[in-house]
Structure 1
Amino acid sequence: MAELNSLADLGAVAASTQAAAPVHVQKLDAKGRAYATGKRKDAVARVWIKPGSGKIVVNDKEYGQYFARPVLQMILQQPIVAANRAGQYDVIATVAGGGLSGQAGAVRHGISKALTYFEPALRGVLKKGGFLTRDSRVVERKKYGKAKARRSFQFSKR
């Protein structure tokens, strides 16, 4: 170990031993697509992204047809709009499990991860928006002796 005579020496040693920041590289498959898995509640989405005209297909249907509610369509668009990449990528997703709300969240998570694999520079923007974090909230299990997860049966005095 190097000998330390002053605080300046300590700073130089600390700088030389500090690990470099992780370098994120582009991850593409043989067809030039980025693949990611998104999850929310009980829904799991497999998402592929490739350069294109901005078409989003979910389970072989146009996303507007699969997710009829405007709120769910907006959820799907959030990472693309935040990254300022509207109309630049085609998205193909297959999603299973859960309900429509959970599926929309899973596809959003998958799109966000796939965007970072395709363009690692977008990671900061998507992370700041909270799109790369898997929402781990799930339905609490029902306990025995309870009507639901926490609700007790109605008390009867007589």
Structure 2
Amino acid sequence: MEARAAQQTQRPKERYYYGVGRRKTSVARVRLYPGSGRFVINNRPAEEYFGGRELYRVMIAEPLRLTNLLDQFEVRARVVGGGLSGQAGAVRHGIARALLRFNEELKPVLRRAGLLTRDPRVKERKKPGLKRARKAPQYTKR
């Protein structure tokens, strides 16, 4: 128990910028540290976390690329809920919000790109009498 407390006290108090991003049922807590441009998601490099899906890696880097800050921050994110697509969207949203804490003047650029708006699209609930949210059983006349 004491070893764990000692380990936490040894960690340097780095300054970071914080943002929470959401998409579908995913929630990402993002921290931006001054650094080299690495992306760490749930304690794994983004390349490993998203596998071979280049689209998601490009997607999460978009806010930093648009603001020309790609090589100035190290991104560390904790993501829960949803699938990979929703998680990538949540991380992107969280990075954009964290960038606002870093510099409020980036807001017009991020707003124009639609990165600050929480995407409200979620799965629609199943309705009674239907097979899915909108799919009705086949109609038979006789």
Structure 1 segments of 4+ aligned residues over 6 angstroms from their partners: none
In structure 2, what is the Cα distance between the partners aligned to 1:63 and 1:119? 25
Q: Tell me, yes or no, if structure 1 residue 72 matches structure 2 residue 56.
A: yes
Number of the residue aligned with 2:99: 115
Higher radius of gyration, 1 or 2: 1
Q: Tell me, yes or no, if structure 1 residue 94 matches structure 2 residue 75.
A: no
3-state SS of paired residue (2:69): coil
Q: TM-score, normalised by structure 1?
A: 0.79
1:47 pairs with one of 30, 41, 48: 30
Deviation at 1:155, TM superposition (A): 1.5
Deviation at 1:157, TM superposition (A): 2.6
Give the unaligned 5+ runs of structure 1: 1-29
Q: Tell me, yes or no, if structure 1 residue 37 matches structure 2 residue 20.
A: yes
Give the unaligned 5+ runs of structure 2: 1-12
Deviation at 1:118, TM superposition (A): 1.0
Letter in 1 for 2:30: V
Please list the CA deviations of residues 107-131 of structure 1 after superposition, one character each: whole Å capped at 9, or x if unmatched. Answer: 0000000011012221111111110
Q: Alignment identity in percent?
A: 47
1:142 pairs with one of 123, 126, 129: 126
Number of the residue aligned with 1:59: 42
In structure 1, what is the Cα distance between the partners aligned to 2:57 and 2:38? 13
Letter in 2 for 1:152: A
Aligned residue pairs: how many?
A: 129
Please list the CA deviations of residues 1-42 of structure 1 after superposition, one character each: whole Å capped at 9, or x if unmatched. Answer: xxxxxxxxxxxxxxxxxxxxxxxxxxxxx7411111000000
Two-structure CA RMSD over aligned residues (Å): 1.0
